[in-house]
């Protein structure tokens, strides 16, 4: 069963219920945030990086610790090019299925892998890489409570085109263009599921969005937009 038609409705229900997560923002300008889960991947991520470099777009990568350890050179290149980094758990295991100590260890292991791959001090990574997207978007109020208590920032999504099912580049792009609006947070995948199309999808969707005057921001800028709106 495809859930793609349900995600826009799910987002609109969940976002106001869990306002301490980053789902999207409401900027005055046409800004959008482009993010990628499940990497790094030895083939798909380098292809994606070349497309992003060609387009002059900064993106956001939510990494699996196991993949970072397996492909440190790819992770280092993503970091070197200035993209924003986040955590996706160590092995893509659903957070609600994990005991608190196991979840905390999973996130810490991912930070340690990033520190090693990107040649940064661990305390720097612990300070600067603290955005967390739960695998498959699965969380509970307890999950969020734990993340906040450990000084992590939960990041979700507003546009989920279900690219991991590989429905084809055109269908993924059509889904995005139908749902996107200023402040949207788009989720794509550069891992084993969906990654084979991610470079072409990104090229197509960025060009389409740029024709509509969209500019691309990172997760930190989206947090600022969200907090500015809430305090305004």
- Please work out, in degrees rounded to the nearest 5, the angle formed at the alpha carbon of residue 204 by the alpha carbons of 198 and 206: 95
83 has catalytic annotation:
no
**Whole-angstrom Cα distance, residue 11 to residue 76?**
33
CATH classification (class only), 26-231: alpha beta
Active site residue 37: yes
Query: 116 with 129: CB under 8 angstroms?
Result: no
Distance CA 77, CA 81 (A): 6
pTM of the model: 0.95
How many residues comprise the chain?
A: 232
Q: How far apart are CA 156 and CA 154, in angstroms?
A: 7
Cα separation, 31 vs 33, whole angstroms: 7
Whose tokens are 């292809």? That residue is 47
Given 38, 41, 189, 197, which residue is catalytic? 189
pLDDT in tens, the chain (232 residues): 456 678 788 888 999 999 999 999 999 999 999 999 999 999 999 999 999 999 999 999 999 999 999 999 999 999 999 999 999 999 999 999 999 999 999 999 999 999 999 999 999 999 999 999 999 999 999 999 999 999 999 999 999 999 999 999 999 999 999 999 999 999 999 999 999 999 999 999 999 999 999 999 999 999 999 887 553 3
Indicate the domain borders of the chain.
26-231
Tokens describing residue 50: 């070349």
Which of 37, 38, 131, 163 is flagged as catalytic?
A: 37
């Amino acid at each position: 069963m495809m859930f793609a038609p349900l995600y826009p409705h799910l987002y609109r229900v969940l976002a106001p219920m869990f306002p301490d997560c980053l789902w999207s923002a409401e900027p005055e300008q046409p800004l959008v945030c482009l993010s990628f889960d499940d990497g790094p991947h030895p083939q798909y991520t380098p292809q994606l990086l070349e497309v992003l470099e060609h387009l002059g777009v900064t993106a956001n990568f939510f990494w699996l610790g196991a993949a970072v350890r397996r492909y440190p050179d790819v992770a280092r290149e993503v970091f070197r090019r200035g993209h924003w980094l986040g955590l996706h758990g160590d092995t893509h295991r659903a957070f609600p299925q994990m005991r608190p100590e196991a979840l905390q260890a999973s996130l810490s292991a991912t930070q340690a892998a990033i520190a090693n791959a990107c040649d940064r001090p661990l305390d720097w990574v612990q300070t600067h890489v603290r955005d967390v997207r739960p695998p498959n978007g699965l969380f509970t109020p307890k999950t969020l409570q734990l993340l906040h208590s450990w000084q992590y920032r939960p990041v979700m999504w507003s546009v989920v085109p279900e690219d991991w099912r590989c429905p084809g580049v055109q269908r993924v792009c059509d889904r995005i263009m139908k749902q996107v609006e200023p402040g949207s947070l788009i989720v794509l995948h550069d891992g084993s599921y969906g990654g084979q199309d991610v470079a072409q999808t990104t090229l197509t969707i960025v060009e389409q969005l740029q024709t509509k005057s969209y500019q691309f921001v990172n997760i930190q800028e989206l947090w600022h937009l969200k907090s500015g709106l809430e305090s305004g």
